[in-house]
Structure 1
């Protein structure tokens, strides 16, 4: 074996041991593949396709172009603040582990519980929203193929590790190909009647939902925020990554940076090629504004070819998202926080993967899909739930780092004197947008048209808090936060950043003990 690889492997396992966990998962992901996980879950073109319907009535071209530019810079601040924490403590538990380690002893167990549930909900709803989008895109392909005759309903839509590591490179390649197709081919193929002037594409503001213009622009930010999401997926793959303390944070930052730049170029291309009749895009019989733009620009056959690629990449996003959701569930059940944790926290002896949490995540997605029978607004709530729940789990550990007294020790990736201002911008932005996304689509709304985000997310979090404080059986009586499962850790509870730095000899010793203990079992 390569001595350098052996050294990296030992250092990874030693760092994990120093955080309190033994090495149980196979470290099969290279730094490029860890980037591929985050970038494939972002899935630029399929994701933009799924939420373009939100930006068109809330600002139109101006929101699509400049809303993307503003939001992507703010999202990069979130990514950099998260990357610092990931570099210091690269573990699958991620956000809830950091929250416990950085918070005050008076509240860290409760905050850890809340962050763990918010992140778990966010991971599962992300998978649900991606799969729902894939179903919609398949029916849109049928509509394009039938010359926009075919239509569908929500009921029809609902019914409709080594290998995974290697596939991330393929996913990344296909994503980049789709991006280049929209940036280069779409403007070339668009007929003159659908081409917009620079003044329209870069400065036209359209408000169709009725909110005041400034607030409408803010509502339109769901378009970039849902698209550039899921970059915490690299964190949840930390225990399967090679050179995790460096690879994971750079995967977070680079995936967001690349997505921001390519996404802005795509947004500009769309603004120049979508025509001026935006209401016809929203009311398209195809059911997807992006599909209608392709149909107008490329014709039936060209639109079908490009749309088939989008469906394929969307499906690949789902496989990557299932991978990540299962790892978050695995980490949370490892610490006993989920119902049936003793059954969920099991590793398949052959694949060295948490098969039970994969099935758990898939079943939860099917249950979420039942929202389709409650109406379009109810199922659309999963898109905003992804953002709001994930931002709850992101902002609390970033806030805790500076709000509470702790002994945080930065890893190889750190921002130096820029850490506090970047983190302050990130937390403020997330807090504000979480409130915004609880608002309904229009100012005048009915029961059927209300925003169900607050109902679904609020209901789940209410149950989580209720279970925590349940008399006798609640988590307040037994949940201790992240629990060490390796003999080399001191005590039962994990105390990240309270330990001494790992020297080389100690690293190798603890790594060898971790490997030995796994083999003995």
Structure 2
């Protein structure tokens, strides 16, 4: 039975609901995220300090202080170009499906189903492996805290113990993210406060508390280039750029919260831009602070007994007790980042399942009657993350290779809609956030940068490497894309036979006008009964 709103049963829909209806979807989430909270989520998703902790080993051996400081400064403008290009698309079509929806809408009818499929799977894989990588990093940092607390810093954990910590983190996140939207929205205030405070502690308090023997001169902190990787210095510096790229990532985080945010067409793009700007400025300040407080023994920082460059810097500069307290705060921030990763990933999975593209979509596309959130996709993501973690029992290289997908797969997902906007003939209409004539040059810079850096991601850490030390990113990414393409073209059961892009779940009557026949209203389907809703029948 169709549900139809009337003047007696429902008030006039909000602007957000009307915009979503024009994109083909009914309002299923509660819009509890304020613009400030969705910006806080985007910033907390980046998690500047805990992310720098996890990737500092890319910068330290590939240029030392010079790479830490100036690599960040060089990469940040290119990252902002990616964010600006994404923000324009998000403003024009603020939906949780985000990237694959934009791809379908902007690509040629001849290839839009296939491209939308590839982007959707790349984005889903990115979000799930992102949860895994952050939780694994958090587990490693917990073991580093134990080393800091021990007298000789030689505490060693087994793979089983590490996986146990990892699994406990994942289960706790799944429980937390299963709560209602209002609770999760208000939680962002705490997350933002903790992450922001941690940035200022490192920038301001670390130099004040550092013992004189570890304070560096400006010439060393800003100009010393230490190459421990074996690559030529120029290429080593390029490899160091992976640190800011890994840190300031996940620009699509706020996009997947579009259907839970108020004033989404404006709030989402500004959340993308503001989070990148804040992370770029604060991250650069943190790297400068670390460069001035790390001492001159770069090799000792990289290969110290604690096993984490950042932890070693804090331990040397602040001593055991202070560094342990600060490290525990960093672990707390990492925990918050991981919970937001699962939150965002569950919304992407829900959106893709809503359009019938995932296995078990019938079960994943469900709202919990008590929380009003897609609890099924939360636990689906958690189970996938637990399965990915089992690769640690194969080898550390195997699990690290899978985690690298979080960046490379995201770039595949970002490049495609940005490119299709200009590569195909379409009727793209900008939203409230627009770059005007700068749109094309910004997009060109963004895509060129991502293509270049994807290539860099495929190189190993050192030129002389063993099969165990190789960078298997290209193998894992290629294998993942091969599986996605094989599933699409699989005889009889493949997506080519049934996937037709985003599917409208609302009647096409918007403001009394029928939507364009080439739009997604032509493909609306019945799901679990009649889901059609007339949003303007008043």
Q: Scaled by the length of structure 2, what TM-score is found?
A: 0.90
Q: What is the distance in 1 between the residues matched to 2:117 and 2:43?
A: 28
Residue 32 (structure 1) aligns with? 36
Q: Does 1:513 align with 2:517?
A: no
Between the aligned partners of 2:404 and 2:372, the Cα distance in structure 1 is 34
How many pairs are equivalent? 500
Does the 8 Å contact 1:347/1:353 carry over to 2? Answer: yes
In 1: Cα distance, 2:141 partner to 2:61 partner: 20
- Alpha-carbon distance between aligned partners in 2 of 1:308 and 1:492, rounded to the nearest angstrom: 55
- Out of 40, 58, 62, the position equivalent to 2:62 is 58
Contact 1:483–1:494 (CA under 8 A) maintained in structure 2: no
Give the SS at the match of 1:262.
helix
- Which residue is equivalent to 1:49? 53
Counterpart for residue 173 of structure 2:
none
Q: Is the Cα contact below 8 Å between 2:401 and 2:473 reproduced in 1?
A: yes
- Distance in 2 between the 1:113 and 1:493 partners? 21
**1:96 is aligned to 2:120:** no
Contact 2:210 2:293 in 1 (8 A): yes
Distance 2:279 2:307 in 1: 25
For structure 2, the 5+ residue unaligned runs are: 1-9, 166-180, 523-531
Aligned partners of 1:269, 1:287: CA distance in 2, in Å? 20
Matches of 1:55 and 1:245 in 2, distance apart? 37
Deviations, residues 196-245 of structure 1 (Å, cap 9, x unaligned): 11111111111111112111111111111111111211000000000000
User: Partner residue of 1:333?
Assistant: 353
1:494-505 superposed matches below 5 A: 495=519
Q: Residue 442 of structure 1 aligns with which residue?
A: 462
Contact kept in structure 2, 1:378 and 1:451, CA below 8 Å: no
The equivalent position to 2:317 in structure 1, one of 271, 286, 297, is 297
Q: Find 1:133's aligned residue among 132, 137, 145.
A: 137
Deviation at 1:457, TM superposition (A): 2.2
Corresponding residue for 2:440?
A: 420
Tell me the residue number matched to 1:503.
none
Alpha carbons 2:13, 2:535 under 8 Å: kept: no
Structure 1 range deviating more: 438-447 or 256-265: 438-447
State which drifts further: 450-459 or 236-245. Answer: 450-459
User: CA-to-partner distance for each residue in 1:404-455, whole Å, 9 max, x for gaps?
Assistant: 1000000000001111111100000001111110111111221111112222
CA contact (8 A) 2:13 2:536 kept: no
Take 1:422 and 1:478, find their aligned partners in 2: how far apart are those partners? 36
Partner of 1:188: 208
What is the rounded CA distance, in whole Å, between the counterparts of 1:461 and 1:492 in structure 2? 33
CA contact (8 A) 1:20 1:494 kept: no
Preserved CA contact (<8 Å) 1:19 1:494 = no
Question: 2:23 and 2:354 mapped to 1: Cα distance?
Answer: 14
1:409 maps to 429
The answer to whether the 8 A contact 2:40-2:188 is kept is yes
Q: Deviations over 1:323-347 (max 9, x none)?
A: 0000000011111111111111111
CA contact (8 A) 1:480 1:493 kept: no
How much has 1:87 moved relative to structure 2? 0.2
Contact 1:194–1:296 (8 Å) recurs in 2: yes
CA distance in 2, matches of 1:14, 1:387: 34
- Contact kept, 8 Å, 1:228 with 1:260, in 2: the verdict is yes
Q: Which residue of 2 aligns with 1:461?
A: 481
Q: 1:320 to 1:492 in 2, by over 3 A?
A: farther
Partner of 1:274: 294
Mapped to 2, the partners of 1:374 and 1:273 lie a distance apart of: 37
The CA deviation string for residues 455-495 of structure 1, in whole angstroms up to 9 with x for no partner, is: 22222211110000011111001000011110126689983
Tell me, in whole angstroms, the C-alpha distance in 1 between the residues paired with 2:485 and 2:288: 44
Query: Does the 8 Å CA contact 1:50/1:133 hold for their aligned counterparts?
Result: yes
> Is 1:359–2:386 an aligned residue pair?
no
Query: Does residue 347 of the first structure (1) align with residue 367 of the second (2)?
Result: yes
**Structure 1 unaligned blocks of 5 or more:** 1-5, 499-510
Show the counterpart of 1:159: 164
Find out whether 1:400 has 2:424 as its counterpart: no
Per the alignment, in what secondary structure is the counterpart of residue 202 of structure 1?
A: helix
Residue 340 (structure 2) pairs with residue 320 (structure 1): yes
